[in-house]
């Protein structure tokens, strides 16, 4: 087993990881499921490419095969590889919307609203209408109905698009609710887009059949790097005319690339190896184990643990959130705030060490009498501690 110390990780050679000689440094990293490194089979898939074509001209066989493969998995008639989930969401939004004024209804916690640099406002001139779910888990049909602008009144920006996300914070959106919102959207002539960056986790956890879930949406963005561990990339799926517009806007934002098989080959391998290979199930099981360990220490969760994320409520066990990166670093782990993300390269040793960190955090809290440390001020929502050693 590879050493988990940060000093040793800094000396890790990429070729050793590529050849499978040692564990990936991500084996001790709980910050996100995007920190994974390419597996030997992903890297080998690049070496196996015989012809490197130009994807701008749709002449790259590797990319065309990936898109056809995803179409067969999802049941949608067209697909387009994009460089990131943000790009996938933004070119989808722009492709659905035409002439402003228009608005988009979405979950207030979603990636499109919070973490895409205001792209919908800039690229699509759209008013975003964020809705906070009353149940703390997912939007309901009634909440969507209450916030959709279905009016010709000149004071308003009519709603032309509804964006859902599954999962959000690791929480699975119930299929029955998706069905209801989809039927409502069709009735009103409103397009429905899904940010399905972690939809693979939904399916792996029994949250629905992949084709069925996708059938209720006009467009879906699926991520290859989150969860599946590919080096980069997402894919947008939908009807042929829609994907034609997606390709147009992908070009506009600089996402039309040339010999992109070096990214699409490992993306397909990631789907086959991690999703179809069943490796996501283990991440969910380990997340449940951590949830149980935290509960035994008296801690509660901010959100239910449905998939690979464990959202701690630090205050429930007297833990100061700002204490997390310090104790994690001492244990040779990378973890920096209340969210724990388990990915397919996390090792059993890391889980054991994290359980030890949880115990230490609770001990520290008890030593302070459950009070927040004056040296560790509470951080605002959009603030994160900057620690170069943890970068």
Q: What is the CATH number of the domain that holds 325?
A: 3.90.1150.10
* Domain stops at, among 249, 275, 301: 275
Q: Count the neighbouring beta carbons within 10 Å of the beta carbon of residue 114.
A: 14
**Inside any domain, residue 35:** no
Q: What is the per-residue pLDDT for 15?
A: 55
pLDDT at 378: 56
Pairing of the two strands 191-196 and 159-165 = parallel
Whether residues 113 and 257 share a domain: the answer is yes
Counted domains in the chain: 2
Which of 251, 275, 299 lies at the terminal end of a domain, its last residue? 275
Verify that 236 and 213 share a domain, yes or no.
Answer: yes
**How many whole angstroms separate alpha carbon 157 and alpha carbon 179?**
25
Task: Specify whether 54 is located in the same domain as 179.
Answer: yes
User: pLDDT under 70 in the chain at which residues?
Assistant: 1-22, 370-391
With beta carbons less than 8 A apart as the criterion, state whether 166 and 194 touch. Answer: yes
Question: What was the pLDDT predicted at 114?
Answer: 96
331-349 exposure pattern, b = at least 16 Cβ within 10 A, e = fewer: bbbbbbbbbbbbbbbbbee
Q: What is the pLDDT of residue 22?
A: 58
Q: Specify the pLDDT at position 24.
A: 82
Compute the distance between CA of residue 11 and CA of residue 263 in angstroms, rounded to an integer: 26
Q: Are 331 and 368 in contact (CB under 8 A)?
A: no
d(CA 42, CA 232): 11
199-240 confidence digits (pLDDT tens): 999 999 999 999 999 999 999 999 999 999 999 999 999 999
Structural domain ending residue among the three candidates 275, 300, 316: 275
Q: What is the mean pLDDT of the chain?
A: 91
- Look-up of token digits 């940010």: 195
In a domain, 224, yes or no: yes
Range of 297's domain? 6-30+278-390
Q: Are 248 and 258 in contact (CB under 8 A)?
A: no
Indicate whether 134 and 110 sit together in one domain: yes
- CATH number for 161: 3.40.640.10
Interior/surface letters 233-258, b for 16+ CB within 10 angstroms, e for the rest: bbbbbbeeebbebbbebbeebebbbe
């Amino acid at each position: 087993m590879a050493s988990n110390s940060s000093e040793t990780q800094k000396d890790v050679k990429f070729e050793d990881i590529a050849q499978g000689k040692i564990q990936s440094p991500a084996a001790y990293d709980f910050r996100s499921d995007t920190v994974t490194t390419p597996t030997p089979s992903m890297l080998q898939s690049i070496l196996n490419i015989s012809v490197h074509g130009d994807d701008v001209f749709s002449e790259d066989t590797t990319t065309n095969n990936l898109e056809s493969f995803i179409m067969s998995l999802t049941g949608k008639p067209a697909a387009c590889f994009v460089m990131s989930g943000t790009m996938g969401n933004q070119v989808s939004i722009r492709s659905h919307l035409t002439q402003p004024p228009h608005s988009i209804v979405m979950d207030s916690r979603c990636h499109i609203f919070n973490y895409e640099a205001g792209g919908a406002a800039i690229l699509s001139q759209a008013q975003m209408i964020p809705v906070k779910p009353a149940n703390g888990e997912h939007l309901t049909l009634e909440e969507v109905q209450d916030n959709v602008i279905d009016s010709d009144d000149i004071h308003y920006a009519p709603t032309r698009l509804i964006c859902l996300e599954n999962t959000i914070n690791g929480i699975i959106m119930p299929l029955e609710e998706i069905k209801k919102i989809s039927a409502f959207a069709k009735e009103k002539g409103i397009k429905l887009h899904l940010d399905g960056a972690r939809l693979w986790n939904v399916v792996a956890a029994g949250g629905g059949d992949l084709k069925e879930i996708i059938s209720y949406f006009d467009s879906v963005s699926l991520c290859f790097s989150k969860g599946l561990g590919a080096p980069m990339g997402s894919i947008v799926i939908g009807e042929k005319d829609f994907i034609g517009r997606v390709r147009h806007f992908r070009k506009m934002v600089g996402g039309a690339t040339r010999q992109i098989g070096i990214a699409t080959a490992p993306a397909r391998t990631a789907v086959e190896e991690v999703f179809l290979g069943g490796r996501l199930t283990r991440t969910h099981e380990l997340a449940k184990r951590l949830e149980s360990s935290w509960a035994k220490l008296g801690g509660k969760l901010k959100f239910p643990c449905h998939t690979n994320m464990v959202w701690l409520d630090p205050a429930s066990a007297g833990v100061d959130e700002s204490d997390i990166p310090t104790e994690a670093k001492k244990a040779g782990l990378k973890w920096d705030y209340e969210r724990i993300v388990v990915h397919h390269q996390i090792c059993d040793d890391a889980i054991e060490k994290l359980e030890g960190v949880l115990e230490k955090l609770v001990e520290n809290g008890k030593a302070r009498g459950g009070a927040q440390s004056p040296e560790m001020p509470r951080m605002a929502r959009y603030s994160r501690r900057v620690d170069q050693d943890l970068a």
